[in-house]
Structure 1
Amino acid sequence: MAEETIPNGRGVPFPKRLPVAFRRLPAQPDATDLVAWWWLCEWDLPDGERSDQRVLAFPALNFTVDNEGSAVAGPTSTATTRMLTGSGWVIGALLKPAATPVFTADPGSLRDRLEPVDLPDLHARVAELAGSGHLDGATDVVSQWLVGRAGDLAHSARAANLMWHLATTGRHITSLTSLAGAVGISQSGLYRLARRYVGVSPYDMVRRRRLQEIAEHIRDNPQESLAGVAGHFGLTDQAHMNREFKAAFGITPGDYRSECTSTRT
C-alpha cells in the first residue's frame, strides 16, 4: 500500500487533540494481505494533565503492543475514548480480515473488547526499540511475527479482504447488493465472510465508512448546512443522519461541528 492512500483524516473525530507524535504508516510489502496500516502514538504529558482521545475505529481487529504488553482489540460498536496520562507509546496494526485467524476463530466474541495476548519475547523486542527511539522499526519486528503466524492464506481470507476493502473505501458501495456484486458472491456469502473474518455485519462496515466520512466532511466544511451534508452522502434527510451520527459518536452532528470549530480557535 502506498503511504498516500492511508486515510489519515478518517476514524479520528478530533485530530487537533491528538498527541503530536501520532502517525499512520504503510504495511511492509510482505504483509499487505494482513495489515491495512500501522498506527503509532507516543506521548509525554506534564504531571496532572491528561489527553482524552476519541476514535471511531475502522470495523476490524487491531493488534497492539505498548509499554504494558500486547493485546488484540475487537471491532467497536460506537466511538471509544482512551485517556492518556504521563508518558507512553503504542504501536498498532489495523488488521485486514485475513489476519483474524491468527488471533481468533470468532471475531464477534471480541466486539467491544480488548483481549491481552501473552507474547513476552515479542513485547521485549518491541519495547527495546521503543526505548531507543526506534518505534518505526518495531513495525518490521511485529510484521515478521504476524506473517510467520499467518502462513498461507485461504481463498476465503482473500475474498474477505476484498469485501472489507470495498466496504471501507468504496464510495460507490452504498448497499449490500452493490457490495455483493463487486465482490462476486451472494449477500449470504458476505455475511459468512463477515462472521468468520470481521465480527460485524457487511452493512455495519458500509455504515461505519459513511459515518467516518460524514465526520471528516463536517470538519473540513464547517460552513455547509447539515441538510446539505446529509444530501451529499445520499441519506434520506438530516434527521436520519442525526440519529446515526449520535448513536455512533454520542453527540449530534451540530454539536460535533461546534466542537471542531472551537478546537480550531
Structure 2
Amino acid sequence: MPDDDHGVADRRGVLYPARLPTFHRIAAPVDLAALVRWFWIPEWRLEHGRISRQQLLPFPASNLVVGPDGVNLAGPTTSSSHRDLVGSGWAVGMLLRPAAVPTLVRDPSRLRDREVPFHAPELSAAVTAAMATPDGSAGRELAAAACAAWCAARLPPPDEEALLANAMEDLIAGDRDIVRVDQLAERLGSTVRAVQRLSQRHVGLPPLTTIRRYRLQEAAQRLREDPSVAIAQVAADLGYADQAHLSSDFRRVLGLAPRAYRRDAEADPRG
C-alpha cells in the first residue's frame, strides 16, 4: 500500500492497517508541533459497487477534518467505529494536540463520539484547491501547507496550562507504566483533581479513560504485529491485572476477544 508517512508511521488507532486506502501522514511544522501532531490524508478510488470499510480504535484526541463537502471538528472517541468508503474521494485531517482544543471548542466532552460542522470556508477552499493539483504528491504538500497556514493564523501560542496538557498526553502515550491517574498526577507534579480538570478542558475525556484507550491501542498493535507474543504477556506489560482484564476491555470496547482479533488480523487477505 503506498504510504509516505514522513516519519510519523504510528498506526495504533487503526484496527486493520492493511485495509486502509492510500494513506499519507505529514508531520506538522516545528512551530506548530505544540498544536498539531500531524496532517493525515487518505485518498481512495474504488470500483463501482465496492465498499471499503475502515475500522478504527477509539482515539482520545480531536481532529479537524477537511473534505470535499466542508470542514468538520471530530471529538475524542470512546468505542470502536467504522467508515464505509465508496467511489472516489479524499480527506485532509489535522490530529490536534490538547493545547489546540480549547481554542476550537469550549467543552470538548460535548463532542465525545461526535463530529460537527466547523465554519472555516477559507480553509476548505484552500485545501480543496490544493487537492485538485494534478501532481498528487505536490497537492498533498500544498494541502498540508494550507492547513498549517490556517492554524498559524488562528490558533494562539499555547500557554502554560496548554503545554501541561500536552505533557499529560505525551506521558500517557509514551510511558506504558502509567496505568492510574495518581501516577500521572505525580509525574506532572500536580494533583489528581487538577489532572482531571486539565483533561476535561483539553481532551474531553476523564484521564483514566485516556490512559486505558492508549493501552488498548498498544495491546492491539502488539497482538497484530507480533504473533509470537502471548496475550498474557501483553496484558502484564501494559499494566492489566491479568489476561482476563485485557480480554474484558477488548470485548467491551472492540466487540471481540484478543484471540479473535489476532486471528482476523493474520487472516486478512489485504494484510
SS, match of residue 10 in structure 2: coil
Report the equivalent of 2:125. 124
Q: Which one is further off, 227-236 or 23-32?
A: 227-236
CA contact 2:176–2:238 (8 Å) conserved in 1: no
CA contact 1:27–1:36 (8 Å) conserved in 2: yes
Listed as ranges, the matches of 1:15-94 within 5 Å are 15-19=17-21, 21-94=22-95
Number of aligned residues = 262
Alpha-carbon separation, structure 2, partners of 1:33 and 1:57:
22
CA contact 2:219–2:234 (8 Å) conserved in 1: yes
The alpha-carbon deviation at position 223 of structure 1 amounts to 3.2
The alpha-carbon deviation at position 234 of structure 1 amounts to 2.9
SS, match of residue 91 in structure 2: strand
Alpha-carbon separation, structure 2, partners of 1:233 and 1:174:
8
Is 1:170 matched with 2:172?
no
Q: Which one is further off, 148-157 or 121-130?
A: 148-157
Report the equivalent of 2:15. 13
Report the equivalent of 1:227. 232
Alpha-carbon separation, structure 1, partners of 2:58 and 2:174:
14
Report the equivalent of 1:150. 155
The alpha-carbon deviation at position 153 of structure 1 amounts to 2.3
| 1:37-79, Cα deviation, whole Å (9 max, x unpaired) | 1111000000000100011143111000011110100001111
Gaps of 5+ in 2: none
Q: TM-score, normalised by structure 2?
A: 0.92
Query: 2:196 pairs with 179, 191, 194, which one?
Result: 191
The alpha-carbon deviation at position 7 of structure 1 amounts to 4.9
SS, match of residue 125 in structure 2: helix
Alpha-carbon separation, structure 2, partners of 1:135 and 1:122:
14
SS, match of residue 261 in structure 2: helix
SS, match of residue 268 in structure 2: helix
| 1:153-202, Cα deviation, whole Å (9 max, x unpaired) | 22111111111111122223222122112211111110110111110011
SS, match of residue 205 in structure 1: helix
SS, match of residue 98 in structure 1: helix
Report the equivalent of 2:209. 204
CA contact 2:177–2:239 (8 Å) conserved in 1: no
Q: Could you tell me which amino acid in structure 2 is paired with residue 263 of structure 1?
A: D
Q: TM-score, normalised by structure 1?
A: 0.94
Gaps of 5+ in 1: none
SS, match of residue 75 in structure 1: coil
Alpha-carbon separation, structure 2, partners of 1:225 and 1:161:
33
SS, match of residue 40 in structure 2: strand
SS, match of residue 200 in structure 1: coil
Q: Could you tell me which amino acid in structure 1 is paired with residue 178 of structure 2?
A: I
Report the equivalent of 2:96. 95
Query: 1:218 pairs with 200, 220, 223, which one?
Result: 223
CA contact 1:168–1:205 (8 Å) conserved in 2: no
